[in-house]
Structure 1
Amino acid sequence: MSEEEAKQLLEKYANGQVSPEERNVIENWYANLDASRKTIPLVRKVAIGEAMLQHIQQAIADQPSKKSYFITHWIKIAAAIILVASVTFSLWKLNDQQKSPATQITASTKAGERKKIVLSDGSEITLAPLAKISYPAKFDSRSREISMIEGEAFFSIAHEEKRTFQVKLPSHLKVIVLGTSFLIRAYRANPHVEVAVSTGKVAIQNKSILLGTLVKNEKLQFNKATGKSILKVVQQTRAVKIEFAGATLQQVIQRMEYTYNIKILLSDKSFADLKTTATFNSDQRPEEILDLICSLHHLRFDSDQNHQTFKIYK
């Protein structure tokens, strides 16, 4: 339902002109208002509330003279007031939540110290000596964002399609990922900020400008003084564990596609539910991993000439 349609329906309800079906829509919406408020956009709530308030003010100014109509009319107004109050309360709660961000935690390391941080989504960050980060105790439902204040850290980010992970860096840089592993070096005394990708893919922005999209074994070096960046291919990055504990073949495929930036197809959809328990690491080639997994399930695979698309078959 559009915003305009919602306004018209509420006006019809207050005038007693709704059909039984429309009345159910309004009353069900009111009954479930608290559960719905998290998904209804704030702008739409404000618009609905303002429209209802205007109608109440108009109704008070134009109240009829006959007693029976007067009573009926004020019953309608009372119903509208209840709805306005409910919307107002929901808006207050929503604004209160927005003004009270999750508790921020600052973690740092001393000289010679390394520390592993596990975030609320299961992502892991390993801090090198003299590093410092800030992160929320719990991520909200829409995004995941932390700040890299100083030093070097290795990130292993839990993969989520609908919630990106962002790392804010000095010099207005930002690293945006969906789920991958990468290294960041951002020392204040160093004129460069470096991001090197071990698995998956990341995008790096300077304010709103995209500096580059990196995949496995690529590194971006950003000069803080000049604002220029250089993309390099590195021979080797830090290997990460790729572990499957009773994962379905479909889950294995999704993890491998993201880790190696490849495409894997199944010739038969029934293969998708086959379970796999095994441990690998990102230094292994995808062909090696697929060979072992297919052997477990008595399957085979082949690839295109570029080794970017693989097909699993019987």
Structure 2
Amino acid sequence: MTEKQAKELLQKYLDQQASPEEQKKVEEWYATLEAKDVVVPADQKAAIGAQMFVQLKAAMNEKPKHNKILKLQTFYKVAAAVLIVFTIGLTVWKINRPVKSVENQVTVITGATEQKRITLSDGSVVLLGPAAKLSYPKVFASNSRQIALKEGEAFFDIAHQEKRPFTVHTTSGIDIKVLGTSFKVKSYQASKQLEVAVVTGKVAVSNQKGNLGTLVKDEFLTYDKSAGRAAIRKIKPVAFIEFAFDGATLDQVINKLQYAYSIKIVLSDSTLAKLKTTASFSSKQSPEEILDIICSLHHLKFNGSKNHKTFNIYK
């Protein structure tokens, strides 16, 4: 029996339209449930109680028939058990298709004036805006990091992990994929548009039909849900990110800056990669300004290409 068929049968039982054989099947399920210890949270008990009150009121308003009063107590117990099963997600019968476990998932919902800071298992940080809903795993998979922004606005500061891409799914069917960067997503179900703004790094925005665009620092994408079209434009910075290095190697610093600014930095001598750096910077600073400070710390020099996308550090 499939889950759909089981639900239909339970509904027939609640409506008192089930055949004697079907009633027997449901009551057998109930007997199985009675044999188990089921703990129901207080708020769910209240919801079940309200539903059962409606059922009982309707039943008591009917004219009594032979044996109906005697059966009412049994009906109440079984129907309540059935509602408990659905409410807390238990299963007392076998379903043909496998069920994915949701034990690893966490859902955070903010109030109308509330904001929350969430630190994910990989060290990434999410600043969740008011009236928002975010779902994410307690622990990410070994080969990917996936979360879902189901409603509202959020700012993401993603820890760089080249072998584990990070993807934000939205209810609009838009996915934002990154490796390590910071960006902002605004996705309200009631809104006609979805927005993505990149603070540092690079993100790829896509839907089921394919890639909608690749954004870099200070670029902004709007997606028209009705038309299925996306537009990208340059914007003023929506936020600033701090880069703090405490004894990090120059190689680690370079990797962070490359992803933050979508640039390429080359060391003329591989031995320079092990130099230690302790300093703090902000994304409001230009790459040239940051490189100038780093090179001063280590008595090095640097030069850049005309398009300011490639830099070379040397002695």
Normalised-by-shorter TM-score class: 0.5 to 0.7
Distance 1:234 1:203 in 2: 17
Matched to 1:312, the amino acid is I
Partner of 2:277: 276
Shift of 1:98: 9.9
Shift of 1:99: 4.9
The answer to whether the aligner puts 1:229 opposite 2:225 as a matched pair is no
Q: After superposition, what is the alpha-carbon deviation per residue over 1:238-282, rounded to whole angstroms, capped at 9, x for unaligned? A: 111111111100011111111111111111111110000111111
Matched to 1:157, the amino acid is I
Structure 2 length-normalised TM? 0.67
Q: After superposition, what is the alpha-carbon deviation per residue over 1:223-249, rounded to whole angstroms, capped at 9, x for unaligned? A: 111111111111222111111111100
Partner of 1:170: 171
Distance 2:237 2:187 in 1: 20
Structure 1 length-normalised TM? 0.67
Partner of 1:15: none
Structure 1: 5+ residue runs without aligned partners? 1-96
Partner of 1:9: none
Query: Compared with structure 1, are the counterparts of its residues 98 and 295 closer, same or farther at alpha carbon in structure 2 (3 Å cutoff)?
Result: farther
1:102–1:139 Cα contact (<8 Å) kept: no
How many pairs are equivalent?
218
Q: After superposition, what is the alpha-carbon deviation per residue over 1:207-227, rounded to whole angstroms, capped at 9, x for unaligned? A: 141100000011110111111
Distance 2:224 2:310 in 1: 36
Alignment of 1:282-301 (within 5 A): 282-301=283-302
1:102–1:138 Cα contact (<8 Å) kept: no
Q: After superposition, what is the alpha-carbon deviation per residue over 1:97-154, rounded to whole angstroms, capped at 9, x for unaligned? A: 9954651100111122110000000000001111110000111101100000100000
Distance 1:247 1:232 in 2: 35
Partner of 2:139: 138
Query: Compared with structure 1, are the counterparts of its residues 102 and 212 closer, same or farther at alpha carbon in structure 2 (3 Å cutoff)?
Result: farther
Alignment of 1:2-151 (within 5 A): 99-100=100-101, 103-151=104-152
Matched to 2:254, the amino acid is I
Distance 2:174 2:122 in 1: 23
Instruction: Please give the root-mean-square deviation of Cα atoms over the aligned residues, in Å.
Output: 1.5
Partner of 1:219: 220
**Secondary structure class of the residue paired with 2:280:** strand
2:200–2:261 Cα contact (<8 Å) kept: yes
Partner of 2:241: 240
Percent identical residues: 53
Query: Compared with structure 1, are the counterparts of its residues 299 and 102 closer, same or farther at alpha carbon in structure 2 (3 Å cutoff)?
Result: farther
Distance 1:109 1:237 in 2: 21
2:172–2:189 Cα contact (<8 Å) kept: no
Partner of 2:190: 189
Distance 2:266 2:149 in 1: 38
**Secondary structure class of the residue paired with 1:110:** coil
Structure that is richer in helix per residue: 1
Distance 2:237 2:260 in 1: 15
Distance 1:123 1:102 in 2: 21
1:175–1:204 Cα contact (<8 Å) kept: yes
Matched to 1:195, the amino acid is V
